[in-house]
Amino acid sequence: MNAAFYQNNRRKFAERMEDGSAALFFSGFAPRKRADENYPFCADRNFVYLTGISRDEGLILGISKIGGTVEEKLFILPADMMKERWTGRRTKADEAAAISGVSKIGYTADYEPWFLNTVKDAKVLYLDMDETRDERDYTEAHRFAGVIRENFPWLNVVNSRPALADLRTVKADCEIAAMREAIRITGDGIRAMMTGVKPGMKEYEIKQLYDAALVKNGCLEPAFPSIISAGDNNFCIHYYSYSGTAKEGDMVLCDVGACYDYVGCDISRGFPLNGKFDERKKILYECAYKTSAHMFDLIKPGYPMEEVDRESHRFCGAMLADLGLIPSVAEVGKLMWHGGSHHVGFDTHDIVTRPKLVAPGMVFCVDIGIYCEEWGIGFRLEDNCLVTETGCENLCVKVPRTIDEIEDLMRK
């Protein structure tokens, strides 16, 4: 990513702003974990999408559109030798301008006068609010909306999130390039697990193989908490305990993704601990693989987005019914426990406008999960799908995914 990307994102957002309006975006703060410790800080992803700055708490981006003229100003933290000694170097004004492309940089102490001067000529204030949050999880935007409604009654508070979700639905070329690199790194981690796993390993030891591969590639934090499990633990879809032991005969499930230049990926693989698919594992894995291949053949511009879930369940369900594992396709939910797709990008379950029809530049996961408790086999096969002008591309095709590719790698 470069400053031009963030400038273009702000420009496109400003085009959607009403004349006579202002918009505020907050980097946020790390929540308290316990008495003397906060959780690791993660900047608000829309703030990062608009500025490219992610390491500093308490920053504010302001955009105004008055009389057709758009102005923007980024408020950063002032230098503080003592605080920086303890918690790290803060982004300086020249660095913030170079990263974001915002030419006017101020300090957070200057924010209030700027805001009061700006809103005296405004009718609308845009704030980025996640409406799925409840009061205990409110962000600075939610809290500030309450202040505005009480003290600035002439300002109409409008949620900017739908506009940003719409902008984030189609990816820029640099986002796709970053995702390709995230996928390459993730592939290294998955190969490390496939080649390094042994019977008797704890799940956290398998995770260590993955983590080490990411660190070797300079990725110090994954896009989301890794899901790595074995055996019966595979039947917990979002499993984070890593406390089980991988035993002979188990399937290992990994649902993982690296992050590169703020863009993440999401890849799932299932593989036998001993490196060889037995008959039942092979039967179920082929159902997932054939379904995935079927979907990548179907997806193209104009394909209904809701059909990705629907058709993947119908197609896979037909095979599962033929095997006698379910009475009919209508009962596929007994073995397929979650949807077959979600968008991915700056967030793992990316904040986008869920489209009616897929279009070029969209990236979403094709996620085929089968959980057969009767046979003790649960896994998923998940790849990232880039919609092209004429069809789609499986961005994860080089990450071992066929039975032969997995067995060949694990024999080495």
Q: Any idea where the domains of the chain sit in the sequence?
A: 3-168, 173-411
Claim: this prediction has a pTM higher than 0.85: yes
Q: What gap in Å lies between CA 28 and CA 31, rounded to an integer? A: 9
Among residues 360, 17, 3, 356, which one has the least CA distance to residue 164? 17
Q: What gap in Å lies between CA 38 and CA 141, rounded to an integer? A: 20
Q: What gap in Å lies between CA 101 and CA 73, rounded to an integer? A: 10
pLDDT at 156: 94
Contact (Cβ atoms closer than 8 angstroms) between residue 365 and residue 382: yes
- Read off the tokens for 312: 């993947």
- Helices 306-322 and 279-298: angle between axes, nearest 10 degrees: 150
Handedness of CA 365, 370, 371, 375 (dihedral sign): negative
- Helices 173-196 and 403-411: angle between axes, nearest 10 degrees: 50
Q: What gap in Å lies between CA 92 and CA 95, rounded to an integer? A: 5
Q: What gap in Å lies between CA 230 and CA 158, rounded to an integer? A: 46
Contact residues for 132 (Cβ-Cβ < 8 A; gap 6+): none
Fold match flag (3-168 vs 173-411): no
Pairing of strands 105-107, 124-127: unpaired
CA 54 to chain centre: 15
pLDDT, mean of each 10-residue run, the chain (412 residues) = 96 96 95 90 96 96 95 96 92 97 95 92 92 77 89 93 96 98 98 97 98 97 96 96 96 98 97 96 98 98 96 97 96 95 95 94 97 96 98 98 97 84
Q: What gap in Å lies between CA 186 and CA 183, rounded to an integer? A: 5
pLDDT at 20: 95
pLDDT at 11: 97
Contact residues for 267 (Cβ-Cβ < 8 A; gap 6+): 183, 186, 187, 190, 255, 256, 257, 382, 383, 384, 396, 399
Which residues lie across from 379 on neighbouring strands?
Answer: 370
Rg (C-alpha) for the chain, rounded Å, is 24
CA 311 to chain centre: 24
- Helices 173-196 and 203-216: angle between axes, nearest 10 degrees: 140
pLDDT at 355: 93
* Three-state SS sequence of the chain: CCHHHHHHHHHHHHHHCCCCEEEEEECCCCCEEECCEECCCCCCHHHHHHHCCCCCCCCEEEEEEECCEEEEEEEECCCCHHHHHHHCCCCCHHHHHHHHCCCCEEEHHHHHHHHHHHHCCCCEEEECCCCCCCHHHCCHHHHHHHHHHHHCCCCEEEECHHHHHHHHCCCCHHHHHHHHHHHHHHHHHHHHHHHHCCCCCEHHHHHHHHHHHHHHCCCCCCCCCCEEEEHHHHHCCCCCCCCCECCCCCEEEEEECCEECCEECCEEEEEECCCCCCHHHHHHHHHHHHHHHHHHHHCCCCCECHHHHHHHHHHHHHHHHHCCCCCCHHHHHHCCCCCCEEECCCCCCCCCCCCCECCCCCEEEEEEEEEECCCCEEEEEEEEEEECCCCEEECCCCCCCCHHHHHHHHHC
Direct distance between the N- and C-terminal alpha carbons of the chain, in angstroms, rounded to an integer? 37
pLDDT at 142: 87
Is 3.90.230.10 the CATH classification of the domain at 173-411?
Answer: yes
CA 328 to chain centre: 34
Contact (Cβ atoms closer than 8 angstroms) between residue 302 and residue 357: yes
CATH number for the domain running over 3-168 = 3.40.350.10
The residue type found at 273 is: L
CA 87 to chain centre: 27
Contact (Cβ atoms closer than 8 angstroms) between residue 188 and residue 212: no
